[in-house]
């Protein structure tokens, strides 16, 4: 995964990466990846690609045809849909039902996997918030939240409480978690996160000004860690409300910071 990059010039030899989103204006991934490429002398560039859900399948057909495309990152709202459009997905992707990283093989086949969960848990640990043996609350049941839920179960949480506005999605995620991790206590909860050491927003709420809070911060004690998957804005309304209560907060960008090498290595393999 090494290449000499002189003056950070994009040439005909440069390998292409992308990030798929809708909208794409909030993503921090291009900044993080391109800094990583420069730091490690990798002749590659990652560009933002905005695509609405109804054009996603057509876009992937086009990406299959791009022989200088190494792969792409996937974010809101496409993680679940892309999993169904890949030619192959990893065990993690199958369990979670979503992918956030896709490699383009030389023959154009698309192979997907999911690093959101392992990146999120690694970020928690790096900041001193190891979830092992703790009671954790998670709002959301989509692609990112599901990845985080499975990674928390892998990490050995004492109890994982799930809350989602669509209760059936939370129940489905809980059933999949219990099947894969029978030793982990999984419960369905409400917007009340009280009694948990860590409370996580795994939804997209917070991306847009005026979004509702994903759960009731007023029910948390001052020792509860409040964590985000939303990366932009860096301080969401949830984190601002949590900080005002004196709660330790954990930023969404720590998730991508921890998984970037895993993503680049997978795509470059």
The residues annotated as belonging to the active site are: 79
Q: Residue 181: which of 155, 199, 142 has the closest Cα? A: 155
Give CA–CA dist 178/186, Å, rounded.
Answer: 7
**What SS3 class is residue 89?**
strand
**Cβ proximity of 97 and 146 under 8 Å:** yes
**Cβ proximity of 189 and 217 under 8 Å:** no
Give Cβ neighbours of residue 12 (< 8 Å, ≥ 6 apart): none
């Amino acid at each position: 995964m090494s290449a000499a990059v002189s003056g950070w010039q994009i040439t005909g030899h440069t390998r292409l990466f992308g990030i798929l989103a809708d909208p794409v204006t909030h993503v921090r991934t291009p900044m993080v990846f391109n800094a990583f490429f420069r730091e490690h002398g990798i002749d590659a560039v990652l560009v933002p690609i905005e695509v609405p859900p109804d054009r996603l399948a057509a876009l992937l057909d086009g990406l299959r045809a791009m022989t200088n495309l190494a792969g792409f990152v996937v974010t809101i709202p496409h993680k679940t849909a892309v999993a169904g459009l890949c030619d192959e997905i990893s065990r993690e992707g199958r369990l979670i039902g979503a992918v956030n990283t896709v490699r383009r093989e030389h023959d154009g086949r698309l192979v997907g996997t999911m690093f959101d969960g392992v990146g999120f848990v690694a970020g928690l640990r790096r900041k001193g918030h190891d979830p092992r043996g703790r009671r954790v609350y998670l709002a959301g049941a989509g692609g990112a939240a599901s990845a985080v839920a499975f990674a928390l179960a892998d990490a050995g949480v004492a109890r994982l409480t799930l809350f989602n506005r669509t209760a059936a999605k939370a129940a489905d995620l809980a059933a999949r978690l219990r099947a894969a991790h029978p030793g982990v206590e999984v419960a369905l909860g409400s917007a009340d996160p009280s009694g948990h050491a860590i409370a996580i927003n795994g939804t997209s709420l917070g991306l847009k000004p005026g979004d509702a809070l994903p759960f009731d911060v007023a029910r948390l004690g001052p020792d509860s860690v409040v964590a985000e998957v939303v990366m932009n804005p860096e301080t969401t309304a949830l984190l601002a409300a949590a900080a005002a209560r004196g709660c330790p907060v954990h930023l969404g960008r720590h998730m991508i910071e921890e998984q970037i090498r895993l993503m680049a290595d997978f795509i470059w393999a």
